[in-house]
Amino acid sequence: MFYLDPMYLAFMIPAFLLVMISRMWVTSTYRKWGRMRNSLGMSGEAAAQRLLTQASLNGVTVAAAQGTLSDHYDPRDKTLHLSRGVASEPSVASLAITAHEIGHAMQDHEGYMPLRFRSAIVPAVSIGSNLGWILLIIGVVLRSFQLASLGLLVFSGGAIFALATLPVELNASARARRLLSDSGLLYSDAERGGVNSMLNAAAFTYVAGLASALLQLLYWASVVGGIGGRRRS
């Protein structure tokens, strides 16, 4: 089985550790700054209304999101979804998360090209992530270099999506920092530091996701390459 392959473990243990560290970092940072009340006592929902007006995004609506840290912006219906903790709590973390998601709304409004590219490849990646696995496994089992190579090509869509996601998220965080700075919602260095901590922790999750996707792709590339090498010998 592939999970017993020492080479697989060599590639995927670092990926697993990166993902775990990123999740722990986000959770601990949110726990810390989620307890710190912002100077204005403004909840995420109230901040969203103010920041949306400031950014001239009057067509964006605010709705509830289920779960914790499930906040996101949906460009299909121009809706900003805030989790209950972010929407209702007047914390520094709420300001950072809300502003970041509004950064995505700004990207959508402006037709930000990296966001448009990422959105365009979502259907292909969704199909390819499952189809790629199937083709890869069948190709490896049958020792078919052509089929395994096709599976690898289709499977690489996940890494391409992760790569496309990184600049989108970093840009949204940069917009969030400028938006909060211009809005006057941050009154102290501690609040500014908390916002930066939240945004940096969130950004690392996407770096870890990209590294994990690339390491997985490299492992399968080595497997497919091995089949090709034995085929030529």
In this prediction, residues 222-227 reach a mean pLDDT of: 89
Measure the CA–CA gap between 22 and 205, rounded to whole angstroms: 5
Answer whether residue 1 shows pLDDT above 50: no
* DSSP 8-class letter at 57: -
Query: Domain locations in the chain?
Result: 2-38+91-96+111-232
Give me the sign of the Cα torsion angle 179, 184, 189, 194: negative
Six-digit token string for 132:
């790629």
Residue 71 tokens read as 């906040």
Confidence band of 129 (pLDDT split at 50, 70, 90):
confident
Confidence of residue 233 (pLDDT cuts 50, 70, 90): low
Q: Does residue 148 contact residue 135 with C-beta atoms inside 8 Å? A: yes
CA 88 remoteness from chain centre: 23
CA–CA dist 133, 121 (Å, integer)? 18
Is 191 an annotated catalytic residue? no
Which of 3, 195, 24, 177 minimizes the C-alpha distance to 96?
195
Query: Of 45, 101, 169, 191, which one is the catalytic site residue?
Result: 101
